[in-house]
Amino acid sequence: MRHHINWVINFYNTVCTKYLPLDYKIFIANQLQDKEIKAVNFTKGRTIDKFLVNCEEGVMQFLDKFKHIRDLESLGRCLGEILINYSTASNDLIYVQHLLQHFYFLYKNDTLLQAISEREYGHLY
């Protein structure tokens, strides 16, 4: 039986990349930053398509307030301090805030970290 391992690497977080050779990190980072390249090549035949998401300026300004987040506690504190005005906020901004809150609560309650039985999994789908 063959097992496939999927890796997600945050190239801006040194903890994620400290075991990778410097030339490999530079190779990947250069591809990520090159707007002409449509896919990031990790090795022969192993690529991930790049994509862009258009965000309105208000959403980007909101997300910029989360740059200093390092752990779950600081995320919760930041979500409590950064409030948006629902009567004037765009749907995109409200969606982003709800998405961050949703993931915060999932991790805070260990929902994403708990193993589930086959029966529980079957009820999800």
Per the domain annotation, does 14 fall within a domain? Answer: yes
Per the domain annotation, does 34 fall within a domain? Answer: yes
Per the domain annotation, does 114 fall within a domain? Answer: no
Contacts by residues 29-36 (CB-CB < 8 Å, ≥ 24 positions apart): none
Last residue of a domain, one of 10, 27, 52: 52
Domain extent, residue 11, equals 1-52
Cβ neighbours around 62 below 10 Å, total: 19
Whether the predicted pLDDT of 5 surpasses 50:
no
Give the span between the Cα atoms of 25 and 10, in whole angstroms: 11
Q: Tens of pLDDT along 16-37?
A: 666 778 888 888 888 888 888 8
Q: How far apart, in Å, are the Cα atoms of 101 and each of 9, 41, 72, 107?
A: 23, 33, 11, 10
pTM of the shown model: 0.52
Give the span between the Cα atoms of 100 and 5, in whole angstroms: 27
Of the candidates 55, 53, 26, 54, the one whose C-alpha atom is nearest the C-alpha of residue 40 is 26
Per the domain annotation, does 120 fall within a domain? Answer: no
Give the span between the Cα atoms of 37 and 24, in whole angstroms: 17
Choice between 103 and 12, residue whose per-residue pLDDT is larger: 103
Per the domain annotation, does 13 fall within a domain? Answer: yes
The two structure tokens encoding residue 15: 């903890």
Q: Quick one: 48 and 80 in the same domain?
A: no
